[in-house]
Copies of this chain bind each other. A is one copy, B any other.
Amino acid sequence: MAPTENAAITAVTLGVADVAASLRFYVDGLGFREISTIPGEIAFVQSGHGPLLALWNVASMPGEYGNVGHGPLAPPMSLGQNVDSAAAVRDLYDRALAAGATAVTEPTLREWGGTSGCVADPDGFRWDFVHNPGYVRDADGSIRSV
């Protein structure tokens, strides 16, 4: 057991078909900040205190990630943004659609007591916009159960 590092997610990398199109979606559309880009290969964007988001040409992934790729179903995961009200869920959902996302499920009051809406980015990766009254978001963006 290594004593050196606490486990953490400091980056999320998505395999994308078109790096330029994804960069437009995330920067021009959603408002992420571009950090650096190797055209056609990979782009790094970030927002606030969140993890780095890397948009990597999916064709380049297998050399490092092995047997990965898009299949008939979208990847069973989501990136989420927790917000403080149901109205903010709707705002983010509408902004994502305006940026070119595809609607998956409309903002809805869920049986678990909060509101969420889901869209797909240009490669099908799900984004989940969530207001969960059981969680609060601290100033640094981290989430706490209350």
Chain A residues in the interface with B (C-beta under 8 A): 1-2, 4-15, 26, 30-32, 35-36, 44, 46-54, 58, 61, 63-83, 87-88, 91-92, 94-95, 98, 104-105, 110, 116, 118, 120, 125-126, 128, 130, 134-135, 137, 140-145
Contact = CB atoms under 8 A, between A and B. Distances in A.
Interface SS of A by simple majority: mixed
A3 to B, nearest CB: 8
24 contacts: A5-B91, A6-B31, A6-B47, A7-B30, A9-B50, A10-B80, A11-B78, A11-B79, A36-B145, A46-B142, A50-B51, A51-B51, A51-B143, A52-B80, A63-B105, A64-B116, A64-B128, A65-B104, A65-B105, A66-B105, A68-B73, A68-B75, A71-B71, A140-B140
A134 B104 CA distance: 37
B69 A9 contact: no
B71 A128 contact: no
B6 A48 contact: yes
A61 B76 contact: yes
Name the 4 nearest CB pairs between A and B, nearest first.
A15-B76, A2-B91, A71-B71, A11-B80
Contacts of A11: 78-82, 128, 130, 143
A14 B9 CA distance: 13
